[in-house]
Amino acid sequence: MFSRVGLLAGPRTMIMEALDVPDKSSFLRLVRWRKRRWAPVNQSKIFFVPERKPRNEEELKELKATYDQYHTHIKAIRTYLMHDLAKESHEKQDKSHVVEEARVFAELMEENKRWNEETARIREARQAMETASRREELMQSLINLEEEQRRQTVSADSAVRTEKELAKTFIDVDRLEEEIEKALNVRINYNFAIDLEGNKYIEMSDGSIELQAKTTEKQPEATQS
């Protein structure tokens, strides 16, 4: 399986030595690991069920107790050594750098404090400016509001005055019959005559004829009165 040439490449292990062709000159030879791990069970060993070896219960009990004690002891020693080592390494630490570190840290803190103060100064100035600007804005908006309110008052006033003027021509319930009668008695002729010049002759409600000269502008609709 393994050639001797191939095995020369790397370090020789115990398994490799066991796989070698036996040297007749040596008397000692390992008999374990003759089977490769990937090789199947030997045909003669397939149905071989090894018998349980008889065991001495008393001896086993004693051995278990002894091993338990041993492991507990070893664990205690290991813990002690770990603590001891930690203590020692803590004590042996070079303390000189601690002072240096503290000094550097204090310096850094001082610088940080200066930076903070400078930043605070800038921030306060900015905030004061922002406050003033905001106050100005608010004042302006108040003035604008007052102006708007005054304008609205004037506008409402004029609207009321117009409405009051108009209200004089409104038809009252008392005068309703009279007005209806009046409207029924009015005769309106929507037809009109026109001459060659384009002048209009419109008949008014009282029977008179009104001459409406031609204009270049758009003519208004037939008036009703």
Q: What are the C-alpha distances in Å from 177 to residues 168, 171, 181, 182, 224?
A: 17, 10, 6, 8, 20
3-state SS of the chain: helix, strand, coil percent to 5?
60, 5, 35
Query: Out of 21, 46, 196, 211, which residue is the one contacting other proteins (CB under 8 A)?
Result: 46
Closer residue to other proteins (CB): 73 or 134: 73
Give the position of tokens 């026109």.
194
Q: Is 39 in the site for other proteins (CB under 8 A)?
A: no
Closer residue to other proteins (CB): 79 or 127: 79
Q: Which residues pair with 194 in a beta bridge?
A: 200
Which string of x and - marks every residue 59-98 that binds other proteins (by CB under 8 A)? -------------xx-xxx-xx------------------
Q: Which residues pair with 211 in a beta bridge?
A: 201
Query: Out of 1, 5, 8, 49, which residue is the one contacting other proteins (CB under 8 A)?
Result: 49
Closest CA to 29 of 18, 39, 45, 38: 18
Q: How far is the CB of 41 from other proteins (least distance, A)?
A: 8
CA angle 70, 74, 77 (to 5 degrees): 140
Q: How far is the CB of 43 from other proteins (least distance, A)?
A: 12
Query: Out of 10, 22, 40, 50, which residue is the one contacting other proteins (CB under 8 A)?
Result: 50
Interaction site with other proteins (CB under 8 A): 46-47, 49-52, 72-73, 75-77, 79-80
